[in-house]
Structure 1
Amino acid sequence: MKNKTLVSIFIFTFVGLISLQIPFSRVLGSNTKFTLFDFIAPSFGAVLGSVPGIFSVFLIQVVNIILHGKNFDFGGIIRIFPTLFAVFYFAKKRTANIIVPFLAIIAFNLHPIGRSAWQYSMFWLIPIASYFFRKNLFIRSLGATFTAHAVGGALWVWTFGLSKEIWLSLIPQTAMERLLFASGISVFYLLILNTLSFIFKKRILPLLPNIEKKYLYV
């Protein structure tokens, strides 16, 4: 791995670890919270590349568990994986971007409680549809956040169950929450790209090869 990639992974990991300490909202059925990290993590794969980005995001979450282990429940451990799939989705267009949410829908509906609240899993058709319109940054972000939501939802119903009433009552909240996440992912992606461009122009760090120049304004 090239030195500049290692340096970039270190910087992104440091920034990500800090952002993981800034809470946004609580995850239902767990002591875990959504954080600022959920807004910026998908950008890691697009900027660093899929594998380095996923590695960085995984490392950040493992280090966070080590630092706050006594305050983590099983839900917090499960929360590691959905974010990785959001990074994977946002980084590049590929067939797996359709397969993952499709499998999540199946997994959710194989559970008796999930099947009774099947309407909730229809959210996960969004990343499948977004696959075909990902040239639009907001749509791409929407696909990424709902991919994370799909993986998380499928894991959650098999781990905690909850009830039909709870799942269905979450539909309005989920819609608003994920629209906010998609907006945040889009904004922070633009911010990250343009910050990196500025740093490159100041010759502080070399410009990474995965920078999407159409989003640069500085």
Structure 2
Amino acid sequence: MQNVQKYLTKKNLLFVVIFTVLGFIALQIPVAQLEGSKTKFMLYDAFAPIAGTFIGSLPGVLAVFFMQFINFLVHGAVIEDAGTIIRFLPMLFAVLYFAKKGKFNLVIPIIAILAFIAHPIGRTVWYFSLFWTIPIIAYFFRDRFLLARSLGATFTAHAVGGALWIWVFALPASIWISLIPVVVLERALFAIGISVSFVLVNNLLAFLQKKHILNLGFNIEGKYLLGALYHESNTQTNP
């Protein structure tokens, strides 16, 4: 019970409310449709991974799941196919990857690669799973480059989704091959979107805390602050 109360703090609950509103709007903006299903990628996919950075990994995961579930209910709670259920999972792993560096960041894409090539179709297009080495490579650069961190997060989501997709829908090899250029463009855009979203929210929360409008102790990353906020952060760190 104490562990639950630890996460049900005022700042976490307020963040969930704010994130729910913004996330719901983003969930209404489609970006691309998944092959083999009626399920679509939304602008939300470029926004959601940053959640755990500001309130912690577990609250971030819960916030993202809650947002997706509310959206699911609002739209009639209709399960069009297995893709509807699968879509709940990948983003949760993206949140974990972006929020915190850990061995977990390496294990998930490795498991996804093994699961993909274990499938008969996956073995014929094994090179598709090379996309999922990106989170592994990005792991070693994520603390230095925000884009690497974002690429790792979005390709972790892609790895989880792809590994599940091939076993549930068994798309033919030709589809996976045709998806390669789509994935390159799509994930590059998502990574840029994640980076931009993070910088904007990071600076917004820092500004609100500075003005004592929303001083709830969110985790602010000083090196991604801009202008006066950055200089003030440096001054406080190095008086």
- Provide the TM-score with structure 1 as the length reference: 0.96
Q: What do residues 84-126 of structure 1 show as CA deviations (whole Å, max 9, x unaligned)? A: 0000000010001000000000001111011111010011011
**1:58 maps to which residue?**
65
Partner of 1:70: helix, strand, or coil?
Answer: coil
Cα deviation, 1:34-92, whole Å, max 9, x if unaligned, reads 11110111110111210110000000111111112237432121111000000000001
Counterpart for residue 33 of structure 1: 40
Q: Provide the C-alpha distance between the structure 2 equivalents of 1:189 and 1:104, rounded to a whole number of angstroms.
A: 26
Please identify runs of 4+ aligned residues in structure 1 that moved more than 4 A: none
Q: 1:196 aligns with which of 198, 205, 225?
A: 205
Secondary structure at the residue paired with 1:7? helix
Q: Post-superposition shift, 1:168?
A: 1.2
Q: 1:16 aligns with which of 20, 23, 44?
A: 23
Q: What pairs up with 1:1-218 in 2 under 5 angstroms?
A: 1-68=8-75, 69-70=77-78, 72-135=80-143, 136-217=145-226, 218=229
For 2:11 and 2:182, the matched residues in 1 are separated by 41
Between the aligned partners of 2:134 and 2:210, the Cα distance in structure 1 is 38
Count of residue pairs the alignment pairs up: 218
Identical-pair percentage = 54
Deviations 1:124-171 (A, max 9, x none): 011001000002000010000000000000000000011011111211
CA distance in 1, matches of 2:212, 2:163: 45
What is the alpha-carbon distance in structure 1 between the residues aligned to residue 152 and residue 28 of structure 2? 25
- Higher relative contact order, chain-length normalized (CA < 8 Å, sep 6+): 1
Q: Is the deviation greater in 129-138 or in 200-209?
A: 200-209
Q: Which amino acid aligns with 2:180?
A: I
**Which blocks of at least 5 consecutive residues in structure 2 are unaligned?**
1-7, 230-239
Asked whether the equivalents of residues 60 and 95 of structure 2 are also in contact (C-alpha less than 8 Å), the reply is yes
CA distance in 1, matches of 2:223, 2:189: 23
Judge conservation of contact 1:9–1:48 (CA < 8 Å) in 2. Answer: no
Q: CA RMSD in A?
A: 1.3
Measured in 1, the distance between the counterparts of 2:29 and 2:178 equals 27
- In structure 2, C-alpha distance between the alignment counterparts of 1:63 and 1:72, rounded to whole Å: 17
User: Rg bigger for which structure?
Assistant: 2
Stretch of structure 1 that moved more, 13-22 or 88-97: 13-22
- For residue 193 of structure 1, report the CA deviation from its aligned partner: 0.8
